[in-house]
């Protein structure tokens, strides 16, 4: 399993925002629930993950205490599993020469394809009272992107763009009448790896028993999000709501490990009438309205539209179906909650290029949660 160990070694240190490998828009965390409905959550909330989308959304949580000591998400792209299997077989060859030859073939086979893996853990505890809501969480986030290049000769290159984020997150929200105003704070450490390796170098690193994690940079930063939600017509059956959020005020500078810029986003949500035991939500938003995230200026990469349908929704038993459009590609998701157990599946496509539709990377997410 030397090939898999080589890749997983990188995963254990660290996702990186846009760089030499991809042009993904840099974000800290996106909930699978939001991604299933096109990524739209600025005007919705209702879960502790609102800490990362719009802290004002904490006002929509269930009253009382809500604790999730286990909330884990794992994601994989279409091509990643195949690449890991092929690289593992190549590095299991008997001699270094055979390993280089086989791995060069793997590079040619997957040339230009983005390879992606992500894992997140977000244990949290929240409380909502009459006019206040509070949530605290610990984030562990690992994202790995890689892309193969033929370069000169048969050696080829593998560019790796990966990061690990970890640290505490907390938020508080005050709500009264049609208004909800929230603030969240994040104190995070980032370990980042962004390097290109030739096939020969990877073989030599493996044979020497070394790790590419030695090339990672580290840094720490503190960031704040400020958000609002406003009910446009309290009492109206469709419940229209506006949301706005400024994320990462002043930007989060992790030194040599990189930076996550400030972004400003706006959203709108409505809840059309549904049968008594069901619930329907529609939402749309524009992420990064001043285009501070990344070098591109494409609008479609920033438009998010989605729908959420709950055939039934009770405190201990619920089923949710979701669909939407994220960066110009479809999304879908399903969540099941049975007492304290939560299971979820979602799919979306992350744009790797400078505009929507240039280089989509289809991804799949599995979420497991355990609440008290």
Average pLDDT over residues 41-47: 96
Alpha-carbon gap, residue 212 to 202, rounded angstroms: 8
Question: What token pair was written down for 226?
Answer: 């400020």
Average pLDDT over residues 276-295: 91
**Res. 151 pLDDT band, cuts 50 70 90:** low
pLDDT of residue 9: 40
Q: Which residue has the higher pLDDT, 293 or 107?
A: 293
CA terminus-to-terminus distance, the chain = 38
Residue linked to tokens 């990064």: 288
Position 85 pLDDT exceeds 50: yes
**Over the stretch 290-337, which tens digit does the pLDDT of each residue have?**
999 987 889 999 999 999 999 988 877 899 999 999 999 999 999 999
Alpha-carbon gap, residue 260 to 29, rounded angstroms: 12
The CATH fold of domain 2-22+30-370: Porin (2.40.160)
Position 70 pLDDT exceeds 60: yes
Residue linked to tokens 């593998």: 158
Alpha-carbon gap, residue 200 to 157, rounded angstroms: 9
Closest CA to 204 of 358, 68, 323, 96: 96
Element of type H or E holding 11? helix 2-11
Position 371 pLDDT exceeds 60: yes
Closest CA to 249 of 168, 184, 163, 169: 184
Alpha-carbon gap, residue 172 to 227, rounded angstroms: 11
Alpha-carbon gap, residue 200 to 311, rounded angstroms: 55
Position 1 pLDDT exceeds 50: no
């Amino acid at each position: 399993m030397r090939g898999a160990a080589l890749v997983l070694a990188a995963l254990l240190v660290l996702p990186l925002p846009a760089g030499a490998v991809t042009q993904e828009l840099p974000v800290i965390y996106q909930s699978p629930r939001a991604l299933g409905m096109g990524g739209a959550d600025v005007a919705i909330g209702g879960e502790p993950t609102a800490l990362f989308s719009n802290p004002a959304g904490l006002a929509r949580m269930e009253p009382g205490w809500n604790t999730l000591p286990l909330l884990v998400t794992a994601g994989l792209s279409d091509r990643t599993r195949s690449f890991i299997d092929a690289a593992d077989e190549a590095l299991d060859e008997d001699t270094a020469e055979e390993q280089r030859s086989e791995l060069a073939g793997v590079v040619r086979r997957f040339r230009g394809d983005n390879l992606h893996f992500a894992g997140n853990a977000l244990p949290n505890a929240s409380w909502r009272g009459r006019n206040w809501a509070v949530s605290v969480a610990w984030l562990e986030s690992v994202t790995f992107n890689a892309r193969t290049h033929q370069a000169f000769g048969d050696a080829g290159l593998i560019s790796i763009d990966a990061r690990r984020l970890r640290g505490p997150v907390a938020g508080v929200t005050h709500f009264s009448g049609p208004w909800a105003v929230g603030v969240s704070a994040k104190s995070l450490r980032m370990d980042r790896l962004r390097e290109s390796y030739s096939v020969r170098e990877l073989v030599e690193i493996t044979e020497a028993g070394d790790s590419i994690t030695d090339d990672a940079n580290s840094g720490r930063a503190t960031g704040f999000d400020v958000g609002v939600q406003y009910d446009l017509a309290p009492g109206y059956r469709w419940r229209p709501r506006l949301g706005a959020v400024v994320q990462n005020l002043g930007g989060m500078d992790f030194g040599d490990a990189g930076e996550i810029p400030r972004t400003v986003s706006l959203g709108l949500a409505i809840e059309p009438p549904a049968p008594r035991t069901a619930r329907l939500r529609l939402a749309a938003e524009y992420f990064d309205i001043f285009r501070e995230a990344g070098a591109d200026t494409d609008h479609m990469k920033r438009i998010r539209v989605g729908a959420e349908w709950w055939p039934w929704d009770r405190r201990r038993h619920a089923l949710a179906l979701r669909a939407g459009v994220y960066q110009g590609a479809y999304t879908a998701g399903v969540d099941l909650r049975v007492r304290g157990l939560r299971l979820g599946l979602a799919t979306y496509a992350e744009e790797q290029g400078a505009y929507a539709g240039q280089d989509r990377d289809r991804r799949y997410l599995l979420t497991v949660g355990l609440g008290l």
